[in-house]
Amino acid sequence: MKKIMVTGGTGYIGAWVVKYLLDEGHTVRVTVRDKSKTEKTAPLEAVAADTKGTLEFWEADLLKPGSFMEAMDGCEVVYHLASPFLFGNIKDPYAQLINPALEGTKNVLDAVNKTDSVKRVALTSSVVSVYGDNIDIRQTENNTFTEDHWNTTSTAKHNPYNYSKVLAEKEAWKIHDAQDRWSLVVLNPGFVMGPSLTNASGSASLTFIQDLLSGKQKMGVPELYFSFVDVRNVARAHILAADNPKAEGRHILVSDCMSMLEFSNLVGEAVNGKFQLPKNELPKFMLYLVGWTQGISWKYINNNVGIPVNLDNTKSKQALGLEYIPIKDTAREHANQLIEGGIVG
C-alpha cells in the first residue's frame, strides 16, 4: 500500500477521491489549513471508519511556500485538487480565485520537485481550461472540444474562474516539463454533480440543484448549456489516471451536454413534480436587463446564452476505462440526498 497526499481532500470531489483511496487500503494524508476545524475533518473521519486505509490530516496552506513539504515527505503519489470553485458576483478575482489556484499549484509542485519519493501527480483542472465561452466552439473543426483545445478567451475580468483554471494548468505543465523524475496526468471535468460526502464544501456544484429545488428559479432559467458529469466518475478517474502509468496528458470528463432546463427536467422527474422547478427558459433580453444583479455581464450573455456545447470524452473511456453514470441517475441521487437530509423540502 502507498502513502498518498491529497490537497482539497475535504472538498466535494476530494472527499470521494479520499474514500476510494482508503477503500484500497492506502495511507492518505489530507492537507488542511487548520486541523482544529472539525467541520472540515469530521465527515472524512466518518468515511475512513468504514475503510481499510489510514487517514491522516496535515496542515498546509496553498499560499504559503514550503508548507506542503512535511505532509508530502515519503508519499509516492500526490493528488492536487485544492482550488476554489465560485461564479457570479466575484468581487476580487485574484484573492478569491486566481492566486489560490495559480500560487497553490506552484507551491504544491515546487514541493514535489523537492520530494524524491513522489513519482506521480494527478491534477484536477476543468473543461473551462479547454474553452472559455460556449461561442468558442465555433472555432473548432468538428464543432467539438477535445483535449487539444485551450481556453484563450478568459481573463481576470471576464470568466475569472475559467482564467484561474487555465493559468494553473499551464503552470503545472510548465513545471512538469522542466524535469524528468515525476509524471503528471490531468483531469478536466465538466460541471460536477451528484451526492456529496461532506456538507463543508463551498463548491458551487452543491448549490446548483439546491437552488433549483428551492424555487429560486421557478420563473425560468437562462438558455445556458453545460457539460455535466457525476462526482463519483470524476473521483474514480483520478484514481485510474494516477494508477495507470500509460495515462498521459489531459482527460476530458463529461457524461452529457445539455441545457439548464433539460437538467432541471431530470431533477423534476426524480422528485415527481413536488417542487417549484423552472418550466421554461428566460428570454435573452431579460438576462441583459437583470443579469448584472447576479454578476453576469453582457459579454457573458452574448457569448454563452443559446449556444450548445459538445465535448469529446473518448480519451477518458479508452485510456482510463471510465464508464459514465447516466446523468439522469446523478440528478436523482443528488436531489434525493438534499431532500432526505432536510436541506430542501
Q: What is the mean pLDDT of residues 77-84?
A: 92
Q: What is the mean pLDDT of residues 2-7?
A: 97
295 sits in the region (left: phi over 0; alpha: psi -120 to 50; else beta) called: left
Query: Over 80: is that where the pLDDT of 219 sits?
Result: yes
Look at residue 342 in the predicted model and tell me its pLDDT. 85
Q: Render pLDDT for 333-342 as a digit per residue (tens, 0 to 9).
A: 999 999 998 8
Please answer whether residues 257 and 191 qualify as being in contact, where contact means their C-beta atoms are separated by less than 8 angstroms: no
Distance (Å) of CA 90 to CA 93, 157, 223:
6, 9, 22
Domain ranges of the chain: 3-340
Please answer whether residues 115 and 182 qualify as being in contact, where contact means their C-beta atoms are separated by less than 8 angstroms: no
Compute CA 298 distance to the chain's CA centroid, rounded to the nearest angstrom: 26
Query: Over 90: is that where the pLDDT of 67 sits?
Result: yes
> How wide is the angle at C-alpha 316 spanned by C-alphas 108 and 44, nearest 5°?
50
Look at residue 202 in the predicted model and tell me its pLDDT. 60
Look at residue 344 in the predicted model and tell me its pLDDT. 81
Q: What is the mean pLDDT of residues 225-239?
A: 98
Q: Render pLDDT for 279-289 as a digit per residue (tens, 0 to 9).
A: 999 998 888 88
Look at residue 247 in the predicted model and tell me its pLDDT. 97
Residue 135 CB neighbour total at 10 angstroms? 16
Query: Over 70: is that where the pLDDT of 234 sits?
Result: yes
Mean pLDDT of the chain: 93
Domain 3-340 has CATH 3.40.50.720: yes
Compute CA 249 distance to the chain's CA centroid, rounded to the nearest angstrom: 17
Report the distance separating Cα 275 and Cα 238, nearest Å.
35
Q: Which residue has the higher pLDDT, 102 or 287?
A: 102
Which DSSP string corresponds to 74-100?
T-SEEEE-------SS-S-HIIIIIHH
Look at residue 47 in the predicted model and tell me its pLDDT. 95
Please answer whether residues 275 and 216 qualify as being in contact, where contact means their C-beta atoms are separated by less than 8 angstroms: no
Distance (Å) of CA 191 to CA 209, 226, 231:
12, 7, 9
Q: What is the mean pLDDT of residues 172-198?
A: 97
Look at residue 88 in the predicted model and tell me its pLDDT. 62
Closest C-alpha among 259, 262, 263 to residue 309: 259
Closest C-alpha among 171, 195, 152 to residue 104: 171
Query: Over 90: is that where the pLDDT of 132 sits?
Result: yes
Compute CA 154 distance to the chain's CA centroid, rounded to the nearest angstrom: 18
Please answer whether residues 8 and 81 qualify as being in contact, where contact means their C-beta atoms are separated by less than 8 angstroms: yes
Cell of 263: 437538467
